[in-house]
Structure 1
Amino acid sequence: MDSQGKRAVRLRLTGAAVVAGISGAAGSWAYARAGASASDLVRDLAVGWAYVVAGMMAWRRRPANHTGRLMVAEGITWFLGNLQGTAVPALFTFGAWWEALNMAVLLHLVLSFPEGRLTTVLTRRLVQFAYALVAVGGLLRTLMFDPTADTGATYLDCRDCGPNLFLVPSWNGAFATFDAVYHAVGWVISAVAVVAVVLRWRHASAARRRALLPAWIGIAVAVAFLMWDMLFYVVTWFGEVGSVAEQAVYLLSDLAQVVVPFAFLGGLLRMRLQRAEVSGLVIDIGTDPDPSRVREALVRVLGDPTLRLGLWREERGAYVDGAGREVSPEGSGRTRVGAADGRPLALLHHDPALHEDPELLESVAAALRLALENVWLRTRAKDVATRIVQAADAERGRLERDLHDGAQARLVFALMAVRRVQRGLADHTDAALRSAADEAESSLRLAIEELRGLAQGIHPAVLTREGLGPALTALAREAALPVVVAAEPRRYDALVETTAYFTVCEALSNAAKHARARAVSVSARHQDGRLVVETVDDGVGGADTARGTGLRGLADRLAAVDGVLHIHSPAGGGTRIRAELPCG
């Protein structure tokens, strides 16, 4: 916050302190005139000014959050009802009308804590109705209220207070009924507010609950003593049990209400709720930036159920939400999130009131930027890895063709020439010459076989011509141990077939070299849009990707094409290697 903003906050705090001082002084004067004792005055001032002091601290520390202002407003309005203890008609009438305003402010404070704003339609309607009840219902009640006739209508015992400037004498007969309805409606609002608080608690995250806990404990204590206090007031004979018990309840009730504003302050300043949840935003988004899931995480952090999230789609040149609708970047309540190099990443369309807490928005934007950048980098890395694998497989195929069409063809031609020489030397008298020709023919045959095996290992031609099933069958025939193959006669993408083939090659090699297996079974099948390839041997087991580069290489190769490798290899129980590759 700049110096001008800080100066404005200081001026508002000073003004609030002056108003709170005047309100407390006037309220105490009126309360004393109504017969309050010194201890009553001290307790009353302690409650009201506790809200003011705690609220000013919260306001100063978190000026963008309205919680501090609401706490100050609660402390100021706490004393309004006391004005009914005066003989000044205007003050008496004002106090009678706005006696319950502090209850509406407290409801607003509870339902908006800790964000300092109402985040649901239900809470907004409740608070609006509460203020309307005090403004309209309180006025109608005041029009019917005759302090000389309805002496028990307030918590003050003052028979010579008033008069009421707004009194309509002909309406006084309906006062008792209207007063009962007025209080009943207030209790209904309170009950619905409790339900709203419970629902909010149930849907809150662990960090939010920890932040809310101090305030809810303080509220619960205050409400418990308030109910006990009401029992003395409603059930008259209960108070006859003893004035000492009654005074003790009043004292504890006031002390509990002094604790409540500082519980609010502690919950607001100690936990830093949104900052705590922002830190988990990257984890919540994870590796898959699904717009719906990301929006849910942001709604939880920002407390704005109206929030819309648009992720940048390069192919459309626009921000797009989870439903595929474009989110306009124009208008109020927009926060853009861009990469460090200027690339657009996301757009938040939120409640414009969130701009009053720029630090929170900056923290959320930074966390979202980090999460989306991580996803982008992982995607780029995976794309690069996939292209590398594709390029390697293409190079394998090119080498196989070059060997087959080049060196292998020349060796075959040479072998044919040697065999013609052999036929010409069949009747030759020089045995050494015939032996040299035979030796050349044998060496050429061996070289062709080795070259063919090398080409097959680089990239089997049968895999390209006929597919995975025949390639696995050919591989089984050349294996060093018995292999049974069960493969569906189906073609897949070339990269998928190549990856599956070399997965089986590595598994058979491990079974022969390390597992001391006697037999291996190989299966390849299409299942739920994936190619599933399994090799099972009856060897010694104990295979571990951490101890061998072959299996680690397999896992990396599969990951490059969005595949997954599963290995089950208990000691002495054989090895099962399962590869799953997406194939549509």
Structure 2
Amino acid sequence: MERTAAAASPGTRHASQSPRRTLVLLAWAVAALAVGVCGAWGYARAGGGPGEVARDLLVGWTYAAAGLVAWWRRPANRTGRLMLAEGLTWFIGNLQGFGRPLLVGLGAWGEALNLAVLGHLLLAFPEGRVTARRERLVVGAGYALVLVGGLVRALLYDPAGAGAADSTYLLCDGCRRNALLVVRDLQLFTAVDLFYRWAGVLLTLCVAVLLASRWRLSSPAYRRLLLPSGVPLALLAAFAGWEVLHVVAPGLLQGSELLPVLLSDAAQAAVPVAFLVGLLRTRLRRAVVGNLVIAAGPAPTAHRLQTVLREVLGDPALRLGLPSGRPDTPYVDPDGRPLRVTTRADGVRTDGGTVRADGSPDVAVTAVGPASAPAAVLVHDRALCDDPGLLASVAASVALCLHNTRLVRDAGRSTARTRALQARLLRAADEERHRLERALHDGAQARLVFALMTLSRAAGRPGDEPLLRAAVTEAERTLRTALAELRDLAHGLHPAVLTRGGLGPAVDALAEQASVPVVVMVEPGRYPALTETTAYYVICEALTNAAKHAQARAVTVETRRQGDRLVVRVADDGAGGADPSAGSGLRALADRVAATGGVLRVDSPAGGGTRVHAELPCG
């Protein structure tokens, strides 16, 4: 009970926490505005021009705004929080512009923190988390470099020292004191600063190598998700190359000091812009999913549906799994090849996905329909799991396509069954007509002809009174026999007692004429004429089969009303073994019941008697 309640509560919690999340985001938005204003103020006090201050604000606030939007749209993804952190830490170095000794020291210490956050963001994009061990090591090294290396550098940084100001991106004439300064040694500071810069370049190259390796090993679908990180990566690589040239050949870049700053800002601003473009592309892809049903067609084949899904999701390796009905391979692809969609017992994945032999996640499985009994499964690249809304839309569209295909297939089968039923009914009617012709020809018709011939012979000898009397007697007997046969024939077609008294008296009459004992339990009441006639013939056929074929010793007949249905049950204790598909009588009876909208079931195990169950509409 607790598990069920917990499973049903996320939507409620989401609804109740939405206003709280809105307030949190608004608070962070106000904080980002305040930090940006303070950073712009400090940058202006340090001598930054209006264009430089505006450019600095644009980069920082772009990050913050994009992060807030991403946080709002995808609260479970930490990418938005990282982008917001990048936007806030962007302004830390500007603290030096206020000229306060403590702020100068803190600004010099954390002015490269935004670069560590940027590396974290690039390696965590697009899932919002860093999973690989080597990537976590690089991210940790970046933060450690700022925390430890930046602190050592700040302890040696003297803003009043000659050449020291050139080691920061701010040229602050009023920044003459650093509260964190411990040792005034320009040569030592230069060495530490050089190591600090080269360590940053090395970590930047590590991030680039890790991203390139991830790109090389990724599937086409995942590469599309990684595309936004490629733009800032290229700019960061260019910036790292600029730093190398600045150290190796400083004279070569004389007079171009502003270019690395512009490249750095462009690289930083490209990430939030690219990420928002990625969000927009995802929304457009969801819009394309709306046309999936139209593109697939009204009743698509499994191959056609799989092809459309690959095009919509951009995953050429996607496979559609359909139930196979076999416990060993529950799902097969459109070509009939088995799909392995079982979970791993070692806990590598718990969402129904499969894994590669080396244990790293490879593909994911999305259920179409209820998870307990999916109508199908989608085996796709796990990169698509980053957008659960997209997968939910695709699964719903696939379920609709499969439902349409099933309806069309069932309609075709129903049409075929209806046509077969009509053909059998026509054949049965034709056979019944021939049977009536034979019965009339061999019975009543022959007797009437015989009576006519007898009267004709008597008319040819008018003076022979004994012969005339014998002829009349013979003709009367023949006519009475013919009349009895006609009555029996009419009774077989539609007994008069059924019309006058209903099903109960008609069944009683059948039981009296039966050659085996019959127990009758008929619920009183009248029903529509077609229902009563069909029920009568069901009972009549079952009694005939019990006496003629099953050698039954007793038969039970029961009729009762259940809602808008008349239920007829006939059971005997005979030999059993009746096969509706083998005999024409039961097959014609089943067709007759089906024509009224009812159903007929025959249970006749060998040696276990026969039970005929019919349900007829009587509403």
TM-score (norm 2): 0.46
Larger Rg: 2
TM-score by length of 1: 0.48
